[in-house]
């Protein structure tokens, strides 16, 4: 059995050895805020990506998928712009995504197929490629091993704060690091990843193994969050592994690699929900007693996406009936006579019987900022799943009603 120790460290995507990054303002955002991020591995790196399941994929998503296939899972750089999604923009969008990769490849000194491209912002708006060209040149001139923080800020849109993480892993094979950054605040039910995410590590690992591990890590982190049940056209998460630590992981270390990626990705995923548009509460939904893990996951997602549940949490209303109703219609095996509903530590429904005398305690609990909801489906099975979501407020409506105007 492999033993390991995870320690939280600073530095984000540039915490692992051999990575440099920069975030610059190139004028895509009218506000003048940082809007272009460039991340570079000093040496060749294995690369992996997980992408949106939305059929209306943005040009950068299609290009990055093609680059990973063409390069055999190798990359040297990620270039990401915010303020414009470059989605649903026709032939111009495809051409502009390719030009982004070419600008970065020229700055880094690699083949365009070794550049991963991502964009975020308003759908259907043409990207000003001349601004991008100047931005990539500026970012390349400011690349630094301490540039992770600016890179994380440059990918933000409506995010209220940047999201970074990094861990140092002490394992039998040696010590290595994993870093990450992510953005996302609205249109969050990725069904694969987050709006945008980048993960780096200085461990050496084959591309195919990195791809499998990233997918497994994403399933329990970025794929276990929802803000509003909306799957974006641009969702993607990339991973680069450059081997600069001198530590190599093989198939025998798969669990260690997955756990290491999850250690960096989980705080990013939770940060997305905590900073969800209009959010005032972080909500953890746990489903137990399911006939299968898939049943548990399906029900947890249904609860986390329920507007009735989310508005009840926002209003501090311990309405356990909404949780029971969602559990019963989620499409998973369910036994009402043996089901249990808890809000925080307070059991409000069990074995077919309400405990409404405990509602005042639950209402007090719901005044907090971090809320736990738990439903046992009563099947006696061992299926279990956890998702993170947030409350639904009037502020979410205001932000999205005004998003384009």
CB 112 within 8 A of CB 98: yes
194 tagged catalytic: yes
C-alpha distances out from residue 74 to 67, 117, 136, Å: 9, 14, 21
Q: Which of 307, 330, 302, 317 is nearest to 387 (CA)?
A: 302
Query: What is the secondary structure of 11-46 as a DSSP string?
Result: -GGGSSTTEEEEEE--SSSTT----EEEEEEEEEEE
* β-strand partners of 353: 350
Kindly report each contact of residues 128-132 with a partner whose C-beta sits within 8 Å and lies 24 or more positions away, as own/partner.
Answer: 128/27, 128/28, 128/84, 129/96, 129/99, 129/100, 131/26, 131/27, 131/28, 132/26, 132/28, 132/36, 132/81, 132/96, 132/99, 132/100, 132/103
Q: Exactly one of 14, 89, 120, 194 is catalytic; which is it?
A: 194
Q: Report the alpha-carbon distance of residue 289 to residue 296 in Å, rounded.
A: 8
Q: Report the alpha-carbon distance of residue 213 to residue 259 in Å, rounded.
A: 9
C-alpha distances out from residue 47 to 11, 15, 118, 213, Å: 20, 17, 14, 11
Which residues are tagged catalytic? 194
């Amino acid at each position: 059995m492999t033993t390991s120790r995870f320690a939280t460290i600073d530095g984000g995507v540039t915490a692992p050895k051999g990575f440099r990054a920069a975030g610059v303002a190139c004028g895509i955002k009218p506000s003048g805020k940082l809007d272009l991020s460039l991340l570079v591995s000093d040496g060749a790196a294995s690369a992996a990506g997980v992408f949106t399941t939305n059929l209306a994929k943005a040009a950068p998503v299609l290009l990055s998928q093609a680059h990973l296939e063409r390069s055999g899972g190798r990359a040297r750089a990620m270039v990401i712009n915010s303020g414009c999604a470059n989605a649903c923009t026709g032939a111009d969008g495809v051409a502009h995504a390719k030009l982004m990769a070419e600008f970065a490849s020229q700055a880094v000194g690699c083949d365009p197929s070794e550049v991963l491209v991502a964009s975020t912002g308003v759908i259907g708006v043409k990207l000003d490629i001349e601004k991008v060209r100047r931005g990539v040149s500026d970012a390349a001139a400011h690349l630094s091993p301490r540039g992770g923080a600016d890179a994380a800020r440059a990918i933000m849109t409506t995010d209220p704060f940047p999201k970074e993480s990094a861990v140092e892993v002490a394992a039998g094979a040696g010590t290595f690091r994993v870093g990450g950054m992510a953005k996302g605040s609205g249109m969050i039910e990725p069904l694969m990843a987050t709006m945008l995410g980048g993960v780096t590590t200085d461990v050496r690992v084959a591309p195919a193994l990195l791809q499998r591990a990233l997918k497994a890590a994403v399933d329990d982190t970025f794929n276990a969050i929802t803000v509003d049940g909306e799957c974006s056209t641009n969702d993607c998460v990339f991973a680069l592994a450059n081997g600069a630590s001198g530590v190599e992981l093989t198939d025998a270390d798969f669990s260690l690699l997955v756990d290491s990626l999850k250690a960096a990705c989980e705080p990013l995923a939770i940060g997305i929900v905590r900073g969800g548009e209009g959010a005032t509460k972080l909500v953890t939904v746990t489903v137990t007693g399911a006939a299968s893990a898939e049943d548990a996951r399906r029900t947890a997602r249904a609860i986390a996406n329920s507007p009735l549940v989310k508005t009840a949490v926002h209003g501090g209303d311990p309405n356990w009936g909404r949780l029971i109703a969602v559990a019963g219609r989620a499409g998973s095996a369910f036994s009402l006579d043996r089901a249990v509903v808890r809000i925080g530590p307070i059991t409000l429904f069990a074995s077919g019987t309400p405990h409404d005398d405990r509602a005042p305690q639950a209402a007090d609990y719901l005044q907090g900022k971090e809320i736990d909801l738990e439903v046992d489906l009563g099947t006696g099975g061992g299926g279990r799943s956890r998702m993170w979501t947030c409350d639904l407020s009037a502020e979410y409506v205001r932000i999205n009603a005004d998003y384009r105007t």
